[in-house]
Amino acid sequence: MARPYRSVLYIPAANARAMEKAQGLPADAIIFDLEDAVAPSEKAAARDQLGAALQNDYGGRARIVRINGLDTEWGSDDARAFATGADAVLVPKVNSPEDLDRAAALVPDTPLWAMMETAAGMLNAAAIAAHPRLQGMVMGTNDLAKEINSRTRADRLPMQTGLGLCLLAAKAHGKVIVDGVFNAFRDEDGLRGECEQGRDMGFDGKTLIHPAQLAIANECFGPTEAEIDLARRQIDAFEAATAQGKGVAVLDGKIVENLHVETAKKLLDQARAIADLSG
Ligand SMILES: CC(C)(COP(=O)(O)OP(=O)(O)OC[C@H]1O[C@@H](n2cnc3c(N)ncnc32)[C@H](O)[C@@H]1OP(=O)(O)O)[C@@H](O)C(=O)NCCC(=O)NCCSC(=O)C[C@H](O)C(=O)O
Ligand SMILES: [Mg+2]
């Protein structure tokens, strides 16, 4: 992961004030949305407005544009408009790798991301993740819940199969994957619970709908001081053990093997990337 994706904030591309405000918000990435958050009557104007907004300075924040589906009247024009000028183009409701082929033909040079939010998408997650143009996946838990007719539960039990399939697919192919949104944007405890669950599962971060959600996502998906300290000590302990010809170290009563050192180094890389982004 070359850059952090702890907090990925959706902004409706029709909302000029929110796009301006986002230049100073502590989001790791922004999804400028042309799809569900923009009314049909505003689609063309939002596309033009977004083109102008992307000329502004968003610092190190990744700028991802969610286009309309390529089966809609707006999708192809969206894809052509942002084939350059954004860091990635996010394709909604990806059912199969062929959906990414269609987007790739219109967007030849910019990385693609996929919204994972249909039952077919869950079943084809591995093939979608293997697509050579794909850089990242975003869980669309609202659309998935709608399609499978599941109920909202705090433990997200009905989502677990889909979340797990996509997570494994992304990890198997070395792609970024971020969790779905938490709709009740004033409910901090609820958000924290979902962020902790997503982090425990292995997600790189969470998609968000409101600036009030940024701090909790950044905290939950970033390494803690205790984790950074442990990572450094694991690396030191393992180096000391190997210098003595041992293949395994013991730290705080637990074994440290090479695989733990790899995880520790990854965590320190993430901490450095976050520090770089924060300036
Ligand atoms: C949810 C909202 C409609 C709430 O808006 P509002 O009532 O205006 O919020 P506030 O008054 O509290 O706003 C305070 C200030 O923050 C700015 N703001 C609000 N939201 C954002 C944002 N997302 N990014 C940047 N800035 C934002 C306001 O402009 C206020 O600023 P100021 O004027 O300085 O006070 C609104 O938050 C919103 O529209 N959120 C995004 C909704 C969205 O994008 N939805 C689509 C993506 S979710 C999805 O589709 C999931 C997926 O596909 C699935 O299937 O699950
Ligand atoms: Mg959706």
Quote the ligand 1 centre to 29 CA distance (angstroms).
15
Q: Does 278 have pLDDT greater than 90?
A: no
31 lines ligand 1 (CB under 6 A): no
Strand partners, 176: 136
User: Which amino acids are annotated as binding site for Mg(2+), given as ranges?
Assistant: 117, 143
Q: Does 1 have pLDDT greater than 70?
A: no
Rounded mean pLDDT, 268-278:
94
Ligand 1 atom closest to Cα of residue 117 = 55
Strand-strand pairing, 88-91 and 112-116: parallel
Smallest CA separation from ligand 1 atom 26, residue: 18
**Cα distance between the two ends of the chain:** 18
Residue 8 CA: which ligand is closest?
A: 1
C-alpha to C-alpha distances, 11 to 19, 29, 206, 208, 209, nearest whole angstrom = 7, 11, 14, 9, 7
Quote the ligand 1 centre to 209 CA distance (angstroms).
5
Q: In this structure, how many other beta carbons lie within 10 angstroms of the beta carbon of residue 96?
A: 15
Q: What is the reported pLDDT for 2? A: 72
Structure confidence by residue, pLDDT tens digits, 146-186:
999 999 999 999 999 999 999 999 999 999 999 999 999 99
Q: Does 118 have pLDDT greater than 90?
A: yes
Q: What is the reported pLDDT for 253? A: 98
The rounded distance, in Å, linking the Cα atoms of 37 and 97 is: 25
The rounded distance, in Å, linking the Cα atoms of 128 and 168 is: 12
ipTM of the complex: 0.98
Structure confidence by residue, pLDDT tens digits, 43-79:
999 999 999 999 999 999 999 999 999 999 999 999 9
The rounded distance, in Å, linking the Cα atoms of 261 and 265 is: 6
Q: Does 279 have pLDDT greater than 90?
A: no
Structure confidence by residue, pLDDT tens digits, 232-257:
999 999 999 999 999 999 999 999 99
The rounded distance, in Å, linking the Cα atoms of 256 and 144 is: 40
pTM equals 0.97
Structure confidence by residue, pLDDT tens digits, 173-228:
999 999 999 999 999 999 999 999 999 999 999 999 999 999 999 999 999 999 99
